[in-house]
Structure 1
């Protein structure tokens, strides 16, 4: 009879548990020191399926010509990484039903007629006309739209030149 000798096989590759432990450690360090903090969060959020953003305008009076995008450059929240502050455009990370809302603040005796576009098609309108009386005007709108992965949504001026006080304006959205 042959004797069987048990030997322990060792792999030159790290175990899956070791890999997960190392990954979690790097992610925690990344968040703790603030280095590429959003990228670390986005990895976790993409796994959980969370998609939501909130952005505000910056500065004072902004004039947006008809057909041009209103930009919201101060990003407070960008879960899922879909909002591009430089372009002012949200790109749907995955298909679904999305809710968008935006608030526009105009100066006395000014107008700001804005709309939500999805892939260049107007889905909702927010005509804001401030008749004066010594007060500034705030107008808001909300829209619920179905989007495919990669579809784009943004806010533009649809009539004349919009005169907005950017620091009091915002654009947000999330998936249902």
Structure 2
């Protein structure tokens, strides 16, 4: 009776049927065949939906299995790495323990050695202090003796200074006497000439390279100048012979100032001019001959043109 009621109800109503493409249409149920068709269609749709869900679930399960497998592999790798780290840590810890043991032993040895050295140093300090005390006592004794010696030394220095002063005075007197004697006994005088003629030289110092006499070494044959070795009164001569009827004038110059002049003027050949001057010179003053005018002078291998001087 219940089934009849259901069938009647189904025939009387309009049923919503879901098509396979997902759209919903209104289909009237007219017979049992329509009902069965409807039920089959619904079953098919339900089965298809369940299959899709099952396939999705299977895929999810496979993904979960793969994830679990990967996680297991990673866990195994991490366990292996953890074991290696443990092994390394254990080895490093052993090495550190060995090093610490060695360092403890070395530290102990150093402490023992330091204690011995410290004891030796203390003993040496005590010995040095004893020596210092002994030296201080000796130093005080020597200081007393030094004071006595200092007084004697001062007296000796005073006596020595007096003797030194007397000796210095004697030496100065002796040296001054000897110097005066040498200066008085050492003569100063020179004669120099030229052995070759010249046709030029106006305004220049006339150098007499041929030295005949040079007592006291005051004349320089390279510069032509005489330098007074000591102060005094000097006499200088100059003689100039002109060449081939030429005019020649020579000056005797004292530190840049002309004092006297010769004059060789005439129409004959080889005219001679001569002059003399007496000069008061200080030590180091210089005297030379300058060609005041003229172009040439004449001479032979035995000098004709000469320059001479001496100390009175």
Q: Is the structural similarity TM-score above 0.5?
A: yes
Matches within 5 A, 1:87-102: 87-102=223-238
- Asked if residue 48 in structure 1 is aligned to residue 182 in structure 2, the reply is no
Matches within 5 A, 1:88-167: 88-132=224-268, 135-159=269-293, 161-166=294-299, 167=303
User: Are 1:99 and 1:173, in contact at CA under 8 Å, matched by a contact in 2?
Assistant: yes
- 1:158 Cα shift? 1.3
CA offsets, 1:10-58, max 9 Å, x none? xxxxxxxxxxxxxxxxxxxxxxxxxxxxxxxxxxx86723100011112
Task: Please give the alpha-carbon distance, in whole angstroms, between the structure 1 residues aligned to 2:200 and 2:232.
Answer: 30
- 1:127 Cα shift? 1.8
Task: Please give the alpha-carbon distance, in whole angstroms, between the structure 2 residues aligned to 1:64 and 1:49.
Answer: 38
Superposed CA RMSD in Å reads 1.9
User: Are 1:64 and 1:157, in contact at CA under 8 Å, matched by a contact in 2?
Assistant: no
Where is the strand percentage greater, Structure 1 or Structure 2? 1
From the superposition, tell whether residues 65 and 155 of structure 1 become closer, same or farther in structure 2 (CA, over 3 Å): same
Q: Per the alignment, in what secondary structure is the counterpart of residue 230 of structure 2?
A: coil
**Larger radius of gyration, structure 1 or 2?**
2
Higher relative contact order (CA 8 A, sep 6+): 1
4+ long deviations beyond 3 Å: none
Gaps of 5+ in 2: 1-181
Task: Please give the alpha-carbon distance, in whole angstroms, between the structure 2 residues aligned to 1:90 and 1:162.
Answer: 24
User: Are 1:108 and 1:130, in contact at CA under 8 Å, matched by a contact in 2?
Assistant: no
Where is the helix percentage greater, Structure 1 or Structure 2? 2
Task: Please give the alpha-carbon distance, in whole angstroms, between the structure 1 residues aligned to 2:286 and 2:279.
Answer: 11
User: Are 2:250 and 2:261, in contact at CA under 8 Å, matched by a contact in 1?
Assistant: yes
From the superposition, tell whether residues 145 and 74 of structure 1 become closer, same or farther in structure 2 (CA, over 3 Å): same
| TM-score, with structure 2 as normaliser | 0.39
Aligned length: 129
| TM-score, with structure 1 as normaliser | 0.68
